[in-house]
Amino acid sequence: MNNKGILIIISGPSGAGKGTVVEELKKDTNYMLSISATTRAPRKNETDGVHYFFKTAEEFEKMIDDKKLLEYASFCGNYYGTPVDYVNEKIENNKEVILEIEVQGALQVKKIYPDAVLIFLTPPSMGELRKRLEGRATETPEKIKMRLDRATEEFGIIDKYDYIVINDSVENAVENIKCIVKAEKMKAYRNLNLKSVLKGDILNA
Amino acid sequence: MNNKGILIIISGPSGAGKGTVVEELKKDTNYMLSISATTRAPRKNETDGVHYFFKTAEEFEKMIDDKKLLEYASFCGNYYGTPVDYVNEKIENNKEVILEIEVQGALQVKKIYPDAVLIFLTPPSMGELRKRLEGRATETPEKIKMRLDRATEEFGIIDKYDYIVINDSVENAVENIKCIVKAEKMKAYRNLNLKSVLKGDILNA
């Protein structure tokens, strides 16, 4: 089998439990979260190359021009993006690299990086999603409505995703994602090297 | 998630261990081997609808004309084929249906039945394949050479397969095939029903 990692993109509505699932995946040392580039100023305790790659606006815009970002967006006056070189290096070193990004960014990455695996994480039901959002002390009724409307929108494009994982329990969701990654690694198109390996092997057998 | 079964097609060179792997999969009651239609006469102890669907040549040819076969071939003057109605019925009942067929038949099925999952089972190396073939008391050196040549040919089209599973141990191969089936069931395109279920669910939430 080939020994490259997989770029895993996890999206899903706010309240689907992406953060918890990603934290759990990261406990497996084969999995790691990608590090974003940003023009935001570092906060106390934030280290360049650990929490973010901190860039000036000029540097970031040069990365855009040089196509050094898998995707990027601006938020509250700052740029955030995924550096392609960093992802490639980890993939080559057989690491599964996780990107937790929203739907539009995910589709942007898939275009540039067709080998990426797009996973849409969903709560078992919208009733459950509402319950989870209401359980967050920080959410006003308006915000909850906005988030549910957004979820409805996002469900409209799940057919653009490769897989749908139902987060009925973190344990199941993590196990299912790991199974997807394992299966993806057995995809024929990721293992065409075997063709010549086994053929050459026949001649020498 | 949808509750339809998956049509699994397993191919691979003679000596790859298809038979043993399929026997092991069948121990899981969710998995079953498809039953072929044939014009061959039933042998003692063979029951119609259990070992084969026994057909006259006329009946079989009518099945061909009516497109009631996923694939068929003739061998030693008899027809053998896979009845589409039987496969469909089992898939609808959430059974994983296994077809163990050679490469050309597999590609024929994939055309008619794009949801089928094509798995190419391969020995870990050609040296191992030769060893396994030599270990069979029934194989002459000429037959072994023929089978290795055939294997070389088959490897030429593994890129037409969905997955490659290396049969380094039966246990691993079976676990890997089950993981592939599990992942396939999470494919977004197999679960588009969730789109309306969850959307409807939002409105009622």
Residues B61/B65/B67/B70 CA torsion (nearest 10 deg):
40
pLDDT at B147: 84
What phi and psi values does residue B74 have, to the nearest 5 degrees?
A: -110, 145
Query: Does A66 have pLDDT greater than 70?
Result: yes
Interface confidence (ipTM) of the complex: 0.89
In chain A, the residue whose alpha carbon lies closest to the alpha carbon of B204 is: A127
Chain B from 86 to 145: CB within 8 A of any A CB? 120, 122, 125-127, 129-130
Cross-chain Cβ contact B182/A183 below 8 Å: yes
Residue A119's nearest CA partner among B50, B188, B62 is B188
- Quick: pLDDT tens for B104-115: 899 999 999 999
Taking the CA atoms of A38, A40, A46 and A48 in sequence, report the sign of the dihedral they define. Answer: positive
Point out the least confidently predicted range of A90-99, B30-39, B102-111: B102-111
CATH of domain A7-34+96-204: 3.40.50.300
Between the alpha carbon of residue A182 and those of residues B32, B39, B132, B134, the distances in Å are 23, 41, 27, 33
Residue B43: HSE in the Cβ half-sphere, 13 Å Cα cutoff:
1
Cross-chain Cβ contact B188/A164 below 8 Å: yes
Query: Does B31 have pLDDT greater than 80?
Result: yes
- Quick: pLDDT tens for A190-199: 998 887 776 6
The distance of B57 to chain A (nearest Cα, Å) reads 38
| A55 within 8 A of A39, measured Cβ to Cβ | yes
Between the alpha carbon of residue A111 and those of residues A14, A99, A107, A117, A128, the distances in Å are 24, 15, 6, 12, 32
Query: Does B201 have pLDDT greater than 70?
Result: no
Pairing of strands A7-11, A96-100: parallel
Q: pLDDT class for B194, splitting at 50, 70, 90?
A: confident
- β-strand partners of A74: A79
Single-letter residue type at B63: M
| B124 within 8 A of B131, measured Cβ to Cβ | no
How far is residue A82's CA from residue A52's CA, in Å, rounded to a whole number?
10
Q: pLDDT class for A98, splitting at 50, 70, 90?
A: very high
Residue A70's nearest CA partner among A125, A21, A107, A19 is A107
| B133 within 8 A of B148, measured Cβ to Cβ | yes
Q: Which among B120, B179, B191 has CB closest to A179?
A: B179
How far is residue B6's CA from residue B95's CA, in Å, rounded to a whole number?
7
- DSSP reduced 3-state for B31: strand
Which of the 8 DSSP states describes residue B187?
B
Chain A from 136 to 155: CB within 8 A of any B CB? 148, 151-152, 155
Between the alpha carbon of residue B73 and those of residues B65, B69, B70, B118, B199, the distances in Å are 14, 10, 11, 19, 46
| B178 within 8 A of B26, measured Cβ to Cβ | no
As a whole number, the mean pLDDT across chain A is 90
Interval A36-59 mean pLDDT: 95
Would an 8 Å CB–CB cutoff place A3 in contact with chain B? no
| B152 within 8 A of A202, measured Cβ to Cβ | yes
- Quick: pLDDT tens for A108-148: 999 999 999 999 999 888 788 888 888 887 778 888 888 88
Residue B90 token pair: 């089992």
Contacts A161 to B, Cβ<8 Å? 188
Cross-chain Cβ contact A158/B192 below 8 Å: yes
pLDDT at A139: 78
Long-range contact list for B23-30, CB < 8 A, 24+ apart? B24/B170, B24/B171, B24/B174, B25/B96, B25/B98, B25/B174, B25/B177, B25/B178, B26/B98, B28/B178, B30/B5, B30/B94, B30/B95, B30/B96
Q: Which among A160, A176, A192 has CB closest to B186?
A: A176
Residue A195: HSE in the Cβ half-sphere, 13 Å Cα cutoff:
16
Q: Is A79 left (phi over 0), alpha (psi -120 to 50) or beta?
A: beta
Greater confidence (B29 vs B195) lies with B29
Cross-chain Cβ contact B163/A155 below 8 Å: no
What phi and psi values does residue B187 have, to the nearest 5 degrees?
A: -55, 135
The distance of A168 to chain B (nearest Cα, Å) reads 12
